[in-house]
Structures are given as C-alpha cells and as structure tokens.
A and B are shown apart, each in its own frame.
Chain A
Amino acid sequence: MFFLNLSLPEFLTILGSISGVVVALYLLDRMRKKRTVSTLRFFEMVQRPPVLKHRRKLQQPWSLVLQLLSMLLLLLAIAQLRFGSPERSSRDHVLILDTSAWMDARTGQTRLIDQARAAARNYLKALSPGDRVMVLRADVLATPVTVFESDRFKIEQAIDQTQPGAGPLNVQQALDFARQAQKLHSERAGEIALIGAARVSSEEASLASAPANLRVISINGPNEHVGLRKVSVRRSVAEPDGWEVFVAVENYGTLPHSIPLAVQFGGAPVASRRFDLKPGVEESAAFRFKTRAAGWLEARLLTKDAFPQDTRAVLELPAQQLVQIVVYSDEPELLRPIFNAIPGVQATYKPVTAYDPNIQNGIVLLDRFAPPGPPQTDAIWIEPPGNKSPIPVATTASKVKIKRWRVDSVLGAGLRASDLEMPSAEVFRTSPNEVAVAEADAGAVVAARSGNPKTIVLGFHPVRAGMKYELTTPLLMANIVRWMAPDVFRSWQLTAGTVGTVDAQLESEADPSTVRVQTEDGKVLPFTVEGKTVRFFAGAPGIVRVLTGDRELVYSLTLPQPGDVVWKPTGVRQGMPSRAPYEPSAKDIWQWLAVLGAAGLIADWILFGRMRRGWVAATQMIPKMPWRKAS
C-alpha cells in the first residue's frame, strides 16, 4: 500500500489541518446560540434544564466522526492510495521512433521504417498491460505524437502512421525531450526506447549522452551507400552567361566505390565525372557551363543504391538578365567601348533626333542634349544644357580637378583617382536629397538623385575629357549601371542541402539589419549572424532565400542526408526486452475512495445537517388541526 501523489508526511500534515478545521467548524456550529423569539411561553412549556451551562459538549458526535472519516477518504483519494507494491505500479515509457531520411532506405523489399514500426509494435507487446507509452518521432526535430497513453490502439495507430522525414536524426534533442517528458509528466518513469537505424553525424555521435534508462533497438540498414552531399550553382564571375557547378559526393559505406556522376541542364548533358571514393571519404568536383536560359540542372550519381533519394539533385536556374541601355548620342563611337566592357549590359545607339520619350524600362543615356520632357525611366545625363539640366547647374568652370569621390556609396565604390583635370565641366548645385558623387573645388561635377526614376548627371564627358584613358571611366559607368539595376548584378548562388540548421557563408561580414531570410512563400525565418555566417533553421523541405545587399543565396533544402555513423551508446540495454511476466499491478482504488468520501458527506448532510432540519420542519409544517371554513 502506498501513495502515488503524496508522501506520508505530506498526507499527515494535510489530514491534520483538515481535521482541525472540521473540528473547529463543528464546535462553532454546535456552540450555544442566542436567539430572539416572539414569546417564551411555548419554550417554557417544553423547557428542560440546560446541559452544563459553561461547558461545550459535543453534540451529535457521530456527525463529527462521519465528517472526519469522509475527509480522510477524500484525502486518500487525492493522494491516490494504491494497494500493492510500488514496484508493481504501471510505468511510463517513451518510444522514440527514428524518422530520419535514412529510414526510407530499403533492405530487400522492406524499408527501414517498416522494420522499425514492426519492432515498435513488438516492444509494445512486451510491456506490461498497465504501462503507459508516449510515442516520439525524431528526425531533425523531436515531435511527440501521443501523450503518455495506456490505450494500445491509439499507440499502434500513431506507430503505423509514422513515416520517414527529410532531415537527419538529432538524437540528443530526442533524448532530452524524452527525459523531460518523463520528469514532468510521468508518474513512474520507465524506459526510453530508441528504435531505428540511429545514423547521426559524426559531431552528434560524439556529443550525444545516453540516459541510464535508454534501450536501443537497432534496425540495421544497408552498409554500402554513396550519395550526393552537396550540390551548389552560382554565376560565374568571369563570364556573364556562365555558371559554376559544385558537387560533393560521399561514400558512407565500408568499401571503396567508383561512381560516375552526370550533370544535365534541360535534359542535355553538360558535364560528367567519375568519383573513386574510399570508405567514409567525401570528394568534390566543379564544372562550368554557359547558358542564358532558365532551366533545370540535374546532378545524378549513376548507381543503384538502397537509398536512392540522395543520388539525384535537381536545381532550377533562372534566366540571365541583361540591362538594356539606349544611348542617344551623335558620337556613339565614343561611348561604345565603355558599355562593351561592362558584362550584362546590352546597349543600343541612336541619334539624338530619334529620341523616344515613351521608353519606360531600362536606362537611357542622353549625351549632351536635353529632351523636351524628362525621361520616364532611369537616365544618365552627360553635360546637359545648362538651363535644362535635371540638377541645376551652378556654373561652368574650366580646368576642373576632381578632388573627392563619394566612396561610401555604390556610385563611388572603388574610385580613387584624384587630380584628374578636365578642360571644362559643369558644376551642379545639389539639394539635400541629391548625392555629390564627384566633387571639385568649385562643387559637385557628378551628382545623383535616387528615387523613381533614378537620375545621374555628369558635368563632363567621360571620354572627351581627361578621363579618357583612365580606369575610372569604365568603373564609374559600371557603378552607375549597377546602382540603377542592382537585381541584375546581384551575386546569386543556389545550393541543394538538407533540412535542419543551415550555415550560409557570406563574402564579408554583414549587418544583420541588411540580411533577410525568407521561405519560398515569403515567410521570414529567424536567423543569427556571426561574422560571415548566417545561421537559420528550416524544419521542412523547401526553398529558403538569404538576401544581403548585393548577394542572394538560395537553398533548396530537398537533398536528404543520411548520417555519417551509426550511434552506438555503451552501457545501455540493447535489443527487444523479454515479455513482461503477468503480475497483478498495484490496484488503483482512488475512485472508490472518492465515492465513499462523497457518500459519507451526503449521509452526514441528510442525517445531521440542514437538510434534515428542513425536512423535519417541512413535515411538521403540515397543519394537524382541522382548518375549516369559519362560516
């Protein structure tokens, strides 16, 4: 006999308190009462001597006994008194089902997850009938499917509905969750049973600590497997229409393998490579190919494997965009070399008489002339007429030397040349919403106005002036084009990876306020920035974009990743437990105690309480005298 909810001192303390209160209330209820009545004549007729004038005597002692007994029974019910040994009371187990991506691998005709489910059902049968079980699915996250449940049908239903996920197994998190659940919600902790292949990363295997009550039921999967570890695609820095492909392959098995890799774009082969992989070794290869078109890039290992999910990766490449620039100039040959030197730009040259005011996309360049109306799209003005300049011309100076560049802005990035002398240049009067990109002693000679559309005005001709043979000229024009069309020049990288925690590497340290991490449907994911690393967590397969100022990293988290090693904890129970012998479990009698306690209180109320007084009064209210009509 033992208490499940309270210790004996707690029980005695509460019982003592309640008994004290009941006795006090009882004495208070039965003490001498003072009443004012209409007349004493009838009381004097029925008067009997008062009992011991100054002493309280227990009236209706059986009522007190009944109340105390009822309270005792109710308290025993709350404490959950049980008959039998505490060792025979039911236990609460946590059943961790490995639902990592590797559990989708096949051995023969069955998948590992099928074997794990069968093992889970057998484990369930081996437990005592009164034991409660919580089913926990563990992959990159630990997800409880049931509470501590004694209904075997519900537990088996949860087991049968378990399917492998897309991420690796985070065994430490699952074990921590199970321990916490047993600590907080369990009446008597039983085992934590881990059923599955238990393939984890090398780091995870070294860090995971096994609790003492852990039982591991291993599901042995195939030993040999080669899979794609990482596939990454990014734009080539050297060629505007070129792509660089990076593929990493790992041999998870114990034997060396020679596996061919084929890379296709839009169904057409673009590269192939054979990997000779030693056991446990990861190798990588890089390819290049050119295309401006959008399409699907597929990397495939040409092997028949027990786990085919990571032998193929497909990435969607966007089309290469070009910036359209219409140059209105009577001397186009001067500007042609500049734009030919900027990749990603397609320039069209037209005379100033062919000016089209209806251009709404791209960039227009106005070489020493002003159209009747302002352009509707982004515009580069070169030496505009003084009275029609979009940014007012303060003066026209001769022998102008450029002293400063606004290097902290995109327009002046990388421009260092100074003391460049121009025979003459327009000096602009800038307002607060305009930026002086280049300044001479007289004032701004290159000024920009952001907004929509963007406008930049050069007070000198970059080719006709002294900058003709300077590197600054093409850099300045490239900065201008990059400022006006940042999307086209944004660095873009696509990586196929696995769900879970993703570390995105940036080229330079980024301000967290300029970083955005969002899913395909625009939902923002929380992230942390440490130096050049942006870390975020994705629990489900999908596409996640990491946007910084001029860089976009796209992660296609669809490549499943089997663990590197099988986690084999030491000092824990292994394999299926023997079937528990039938032994009567501790008998739960709190329900009966509660009923008896309530019945006792009701009986006290009926026999000694106000109900009896009311009932007696009601019966005696019926007039015994013959009421009859007087007339």
Chain B
Amino acid sequence: MKPTPLIDSVFLEKLERLTIQWQKSFAGLVGGHNISHFAGPGQEFLDHRQFHHGDDLRAVNWRAYLRLEKLFLKMFQVEPRTPVRILLDCSNSMTTGGVCKFDYARKLTAALCYVGLVRLDTIGIQPFGNGLGDSFLCGGGRHRFIPAVNYLQDLKPSGKTNFFEVARQFITKYPQRGLLIIISDFLDDTDCERPLQYLADFGHELMLLHVWDPEDRDPPWEGQLDLTDAETGAVIEIGFDSGSRARYVQAFDEFARSIQRIGLRNSGRYVGLPTNTTIEEAVFGPIARSGGIQ
C-alpha cells in the first residue's frame, strides 16, 4: 500500500509564499532575513559598474559591450547563509496521546523545511532523544524536499529525552550560530530550561514549538488510574478526580509558561501547538502570528 504523504501538494503550494524569519544578526554572517546590499556572488542582479582589470570576465555584460563598445560588469546581491536547524524530538514521550505527537512534529518539520528550501535557505534536520541522532542537511531549492521527506518518514521514536546531553552535543557539533527551531513536547525528567538557556547563551536564536496532545494537558480519565511513563516505564497508582484534574492543568500551564519565558527572554519565539490544531492552521495561525514565518 502506498504510504500516506506527510504533506499534500495543495498545502505545499500555500507554503511557497512564506519565509522563515529570524531576528538576530549572527557574527561572521551577512544578512539575516533582510536582503544584503553588498555585492558579491549570488543569484539576484544588483547593479552595473565599470570593468576593472582583474574582474571576473564571466560577469561582463557582453550585450552592453556590443551596443556601447564599453565593458560593464554585472553585480549581484550577496545571499544570506544563516543556517536554519530544526531539532526534532524523537523520544518515546512523543508517541502518547490520542493523536501521535511525533507524526504531528514530523509534518511540522516537513512544512518548515519546504518553506526554507523554497527560499534557498540551508536547512538542517537534527533528531534528538537521549542525544543527537543522525542529521540531514538540505539546501538549494525545492527539489531537495523529497529526500527530506523520505528522511523524516524513516525516523522512528525511541528512548528518553535528555536535554542536557542534547545541548552539549549540539554546541559541540554546530559551532556556527544560527536559527534553532526546536519541535518537542519538552517533557524531560530533569529540567529542560537550563539546557535551552545554554543554547541561547551560545548565540543561537531559539524558536520553540511546543507540541502537546490534549490528553497531555487535560487527561480525560477519572477514578483509579494505573499510569505508566512512556519513556522510563515507571508506574504510579493514583486516584484522579476533577480536583486533581484542575491542579494538573494548572501545573501543565505553568510548565508551558516556563518554556515560553525561556524563548521570550532570549529574543526568541515560543508557540504552543496542541495536536488537535491542523498543521495548516498551526503554520498560518500561531507560528505566523509569532513572526517565525511570514
């Protein structure tokens, strides 16, 4: 049976008018999301100037020479080369709930990847769990989208989440600063705020896409429950009633606010995405409103 595509073509057409935005100017790089006025190698034409000895003959405008018998050199815009990296949570906690959060996160990753490829950004997809997994780098146009999708479809969730280890490995592996999009439920046994702060302090711009299932925020059960942790396998027996549920929701919201604070405090962005929101609604709704995509 033919596998269901992650994203349908109609949605892809809608994505083509979008651009991934970031706010920082990263050291050693030109651009940002604004167009550079420096001339240099690139695709977009900027201006003409007089030819000087030593200039690249390939940039001479020969049509103008035939008409005016003078040598003019074409100048092009320098293209930004800020790397966009997507950290995709592949831990077991992403598999629980009514709608699989992992599938949701994969689709979201694919959508962002396509937006970046259409704008000739360089996109790195980096799965993580207990540590960093094998990454996938793509760039240079939309024709590289299919391999990216194949890569995403081959990913399997497993293991625990360890944000400390992930942050450590990431900083070691990617010294070049850039935009870091983290798609995760941010559920770690230990605190995930400090590792996120390390990444921000290292110079990355954070876009935190917090994915949760409605059951994660508001468990629909009542009565006597035997609960098993999807990552650790730990089991607890509790009595759960409406009062417990209210406290649970309050605790979850507080946790979400703490993640949001990390993002905003470091000039980044935070978007909470329940899985009952469609990918299209998420991209053109909360993510677009946050300014992460425009």
Report whether A631 and B219 are in contact in the complex, using a CB–CB cutoff of 8 Å: no
Would you call A40 and B220 a contact (CB within 8 A)?
no
Q: Is the CB of A45 within 8 A of B251?
A: yes
Contact, CB under 8 Å: A39 / B229: yes
Q: Is A43 within 8 A of B230, CB to CB?
A: no
Provide the bound-state CA to CA distance between A531 and B264, in Å.
Answer: 111
A35 at the interface (CB under 8 A from B): yes
Given contact pairs A35-B226, A630-B263, A50 touches B217 in the complex (Cβ within 8 A): no
Per the bound structure, the CA–CA distance linking A459 and B268 in Å amounts to 129
User: Which of B111-119, B140-148, B234-242 lies at the interface with chain A?
Assistant: B234-242
- Once bound together, how far apart are the Cα atoms of A630 and B287, in whole Å? 10
Query: In the complex, are the beta carbons of B291 and A625 less than 8 A apart?
Result: no
Contacts of A44 in B (CB 8 A): 236
Chain B min CB distance to A36 (Å): 5
Q: Is B221 an interface residue (CB 8 A)?
A: yes
Please tell me if A59 contacts chain B, counting CB pairs below 8 Å: yes
Q: Are A39 and B93 in contact (CB under 8 A)?
A: yes
Whole-angstrom distance between the Cβ of B253 and the nearest chain A Cβ: 5
Which chain A residue shows the least CB distance to B208? A630
CB neighbours (8 Å) of B189 from chain A are 39, 41
- CB-nearest residue of chain A to B254: A625
Assess whether A88 is interfacial by the CB under 8 Å rule. no
Identity of the chain B residue whose Cβ is nearest the Cβ of A50 in the assembled complex: B237
Q: Is the CB of B269 within 8 A of A631?
A: yes
Interfacial chain A residues near B224, Cβ < 8 Å? 31-33, 50-51
> With an 8 A cutoff between CB atoms, is B97 at the interface?
yes
Chain B positions 228 through 259: 1 when the CB is less than 8 Å from some CB of chain A, otherwise 0: 11111010111110101111110111011100
A621-B214, A625-B257, A630-B270 known; A33 vs B185 contact (CB < 8 Å): no
Contacts of B289 in A (CB 8 A): 629
Once A37-B227, A621-B214, A631-B23 are accepted as A-B contacts, the answer to whether A53 and B237 lie under 8 Å apart by CB is yes
A51 in complex: contacting residue of B219, B239, B244, B246, CB < 8 Å: B239
Q: How far is the CB of B144 from chain A (nearest CB, A)?
A: 29
Given the complex, which residues of A lie within 8 Å of B216, measured CB to CB? 37-38
Contacts of A30 in B (CB 8 A): 223
Q: Does A184 sit within 8 A of B, measured CB to CB?
A: no
Please tell me if the beta carbons of B228 and A36 are within 8 angstroms of each other in the complex: yes
In whole angstroms, what is the CA distance A491 to B151 when docked? 101
Tell me, yes or no, whether B218 is within 8 Å of chain A by CB.
Answer: yes
Query: Do B251 and A46 have beta carbons less than 8 Å apart?
Result: yes
Least CB distance from B193 to A in Å reads: 13
Residues of B within 8 A of A185 (CB): none
**Does the CB pair B214–A38 fall under 8 Å?**
no
B290 at the interface (CB under 8 A from A): yes
Q: How far is the CB of A312 from chain B (nearest CB, A)?
A: 87
Q: How far is the CB of B229 from chain A (nearest CB, A)?
A: 5
A432 contacts which chain B residues (CB < 8 A)? none
B213 within 8 A of partner (CB): yes
CA distance A500 to B221 in the complex (A): 76
A616, CB-defined interface residue at 8 Å:
yes
B239 touching A43, Cβ below 8 Å: no
List CB contacts (< 8 Å) of A493-542 with chain B: none
Q: B272 within 8 Å of A by Cβ? A: yes
Within 8 A of A (CB), among B262-285: 263-264, 268-272, 274
Q: Which residue of B lies closest to A51 (CB)?
A: B239
Select B228's contact among A34, A42, A624, A625, beta carbons within 8 Å: A34
Contact B227–A43 (Cβ < 8 Å): yes
A-side contacts of B257, CB under 8 Å: 625
Considering the complex, which residues of chain A in the window 590-631 have a beta carbon less than 8 Å from any beta carbon of chain B?
Answer: 613-614, 616-617, 620-621, 623-625, 627, 629-631
Q: Which of B214, B236, B269, B290 contacts A43 (CB 8 A)?
A: B236
Answer whether residue A353 sits at the interface, using C-beta atoms and an 8 A cutoff: no
Task: Type the 1/0 row for A41-72, where 1 means its CB is closer than 8 Å to any CB of B.
Answer: 11111111111010000010000000000000
Set of chain A residues within 8 Å of B84, measured between Cβ atoms: none
CA distance A42 to B214 in the complex (A): 14
Q: Which residues of B contact A624 (CB under 8 A)?
A: 253
- Check if B47 is an interface residue, CB within 8 A of chain A: no
Q: For window 105-130 of chain A, which residues contact chain B by CB distance below 8 Å?
A: none
- Specify which chain A residues have a CB less than 8 angstroms from the CB of B249 in the assembled complex: 620
Q: Is the interface of B mostly helix, strand, loop or mixed?
A: mixed
The CA-CA distance from A44 to B234 in the complex, in Å, is: 12
CB-CB under 8 A from B165, the residues of chain A are none
- Give CA–CA (A32, B224) in the complex, Å: 5
Closest Cβ of chain A to B204, distance in Å, is: 15
B225 at the interface (CB under 8 A from A): yes
Smallest distance from the beta carbon of B20 to chain A beta carbons, Å? 13
* Complex contacts, B222 vs chain A, CB 8 Å: 59, 613
How far, in whole Å, are A50 and B224 apart by their CA atoms in the complex?
7
- Taken together as a complex, chains A and B put the C-alpha atoms of A624 and B272 apart, in Å, by 13
Interface pair B223/A59, CB less than 8 Å apart? yes
Q: Which of A33, A42, A46 contacts B223 (CB 8 A)?
A: A33
Distance (whole angstroms) from the CB of A354 to the closest CB of chain B? 95
Contact with B along A446-460 (1 / 0, CB 8 A): 000000000000000
Contact B248 A43 (CB under 8 A): yes
Q: Mark B202-219, 1 if CB is under 8 A from A, else 0.
A: 000000000001111111
* Among A31, A48, A614, A623, contact of B244 (Cβ-Cβ < 8 Å): A48
CB distance from B128 to the nearest CB of A (A): 16
A-contact bits for B85-96, CB 8 A (1 contact / 0 none): 000000001101
Give the complex CA separation of A625 and B216 in angstroms.
16
Inter-chain CA distance A444–B258, complex, in Å, is: 124
Interface-central residue, A31, A629, A630, by most chain B CB under 10 Å = A630
> A194 to nearest B CB, angstroms?
69
Question: Would you call B238 and A48 a contact (CB within 8 A)?
Answer: yes
CB <8 Å contact, A34 and B226:
yes
How distant is A365 from chain B, measured CB to nearest CB, in Å? 90
B109 interfacial by beta-carbon distance below 8 Å: no
Smallest CB-CB separation from B161: which chain A residue?
A: A39
Any A CB within 8 A of the CB of B260? yes
Indicate if the CB atoms of A37 and B228 lie closer than 8 Å.
Answer: yes
Contact A50/B239 with A37-B229, A623-B253, A631-B291 known, Cβ cut-off 8 Å:
yes
Q: A33-B226, A35-B228, A46-B248 are in contact. Are A40 and B96 (CB under 8 A)?
A: no
CB proximity of B26 to chain A, nearest CB, Å: 17
A202 to B223, CA, bound (A): 83
Report how far A44 CA is from B289 CA in the complex, Å. 35
Contacts of A46 in B (CB 8 A): 238, 240, 244, 247-248, 251
Say whether A620 contacts B246, CB under 8 Å: yes
Could you tell me the distance between the alpha carbons of A482 and B187 in the complex, rounded to whole angstroms? Answer: 111
Q: What's the minimum C-beta distance from A436 to chain B, rounded to whole angstroms?
A: 81
* Contact status A32-B226, CB under 8 Å: yes
Cβ–Cβ contact B290 & A631, under 8 A: yes
Q: For the complex, what is the distance from the CA of A623 to the CA of B248, rounded to whole Å?
A: 14
User: B96, A43: Cβ atoms under 8 Å?
Assistant: no
* Chain A residue, CB-CB nearest to B94: A38
- Write the nearest CB–CB distance from A30 to chain B, whole angstroms: 6
Cross-chain contact B187 with A38 (CB below 8 angstroms): yes
Q: Which A residues touch B217, using CB under 8 A?
A: 621
Contact present for A35 and B221 (CB under 8 Å): yes
Whole-angstrom distance between the Cβ of B237 and the nearest chain A Cβ: 5
Contacts beyond the supplied A39-B189, A53-B237: 7 A-B pairs with Cβ under 8 Å:
A42-B255, A50-B224, A50-B237, A51-B224, A620-B246, A630-B269, A630-B290
> Closest 9 A-B residue pairs measured CB to CB?
A630-B269, A631-B291, A46-B247, A32-B224, A38-B93, A39-B187, A34-B226, A50-B237, A38-B96
Q: 24 interchain pairs (CB within 8 A)?
A: A36-B228, A37-B227, A37-B229, A37-B230, A38-B93, A38-B187, A38-B213, A38-B216, A38-B230, A38-B231, A40-B229, A41-B189, A42-B248, A42-B252, A46-B238, A48-B238, A48-B244, A617-B220, A620-B218, A620-B245, A621-B217, A630-B264, A630-B268, A631-B23
